[in-house]
Amino acid sequence: MALTKEQIKSVEETIRNSLRNRFKTYNPEPAVMPFHTRLLGKDRLALYSFIHSLNTNFGTTIFEPVAVSLASSRFKVAKLQMKSGTQISEQAQYEIQKIMDELTAANKKPDKQKEIEIIRKVCQKGKMRTVKPTRIDVYLENNEGEIFLFDIIKTAKPNKGGFKEFKRTLLEWVATVLSEKPDAKINTLIAIPYNPYEPKPYSRWTMAGMLDLEQELKVAEEFWDFLGGEGVYNDLLGCFERVGIELRQEIDDYFKRFNKK
C-alpha cells in the first residue's frame, strides 16, 4: 500500500516546516574549538552541531507527527503525546518489580502476553497509587478496540541499561491502562525509526533478555509499514530525499553565514 498523494504532501510539509523552524531557533553553543575550526571551518562545525541538535528533536518534530499522519488512515484513533493513566495498584507495582527482577537476573525469558495477564489479574487490587508514567509518543486504537502504545526511542543504538528502563515503561503503561479498563486488549511497544546497521539486520542482542522481540519491538520497515501499510517505509524515505533536494541550496546558504562570523 503506497502513500497517497495527500499523505505524501502532508509528510513532506511536516519535514519542510520542521527543518525551517529549526533554522529559526537554532543557536550553536558558544564553545571555542580553535583546532577544529581552523581544520574544518566554522560552517562545517555549525553543520555538525546542527545535525546533533536535530537528532534530539527528530522524534517529536518529525517522527511522531508523521507516524500519526500515516496511522490515521488505518486506525480509528491515532494521537501523539498521550497519558496512559494516573493510577496503578500496589499489587501491579509489586508484580512489575518481580517481572523486572526475574528478567534482570535472567531467571525467565520475556513473554509479553503472560506479563500482561499477570498484571491484569491484579490491576485493581490493593491500594491505588497516583503515578506519572512516561508519556506515550503514539497512541493507536483499531476498529476492534485493540490498543497500541508506542515509545519512539531517541537513539537508534540504546544500551542494555536503556532497554531496562523501556521495559519498565511498557509494563507501567499496561498497568495504568488496565486499572481503568481491566478488559482492554493492549499492546505496548518500542519503535526504532530506522536501522543503523542496514543492510545488515538490526542487532537485537542487547535487548533480547529484556524485551519480547516479537511483541514489544518494531524497527524501521516493521514500524512504518505497521502504521501505514506495506511499502510505506520506502515511500517515506522518498519524501525525505525530495525535501532534501528541494531545500539543498537553502541549507547551504544557511551554513555559509557562519563563516562570516
Question: For 13, what's the count of Cα atoms within 13 Å in the CB-facing half-sphere?
Answer: 7
Query: What gap in Å lies between CA 100 and CA 106, rounded to an integer?
Result: 10
Rounded to whole angstroms, the Cα distance separating 208 from 240 reads 31
Domain with CATH 3.40.1560 in the chain: 76-228
**What CATH number should be reported for the domain whose range is 76-228?**
3.40.1560
Residue 14: pLDDT band (50, 70, 90) is confident
Q: Which residue has the cell 525509526?
A: 193
pLDDT value at position 41?
A: 76
- pLDDT tens profile 224-258: 999 999 899 999 999 999 999 999 998 888 777 76
Percent of the chain residues past pLDDT 90, beyond the cut: 56
pLDDT (average), residues 158-175: 86
pLDDT band at 176 (very low <50, low <70, confident <90, very high): very high
Give the pLDDT confidence of 177-199 residue by residue, as tens digits. Answer: 999 999 999 999 999 999 888 88
With 0-12 / 13-18 / 19 or more C-beta atoms within 10 angstroms meaning exposed / middle / buried, residue 22 is: middle
For 27-79, the pLDDT digits (tens) are: 766 566 777 777 777 777 777 777 777 777 777 888 998 999 899 889 999 99
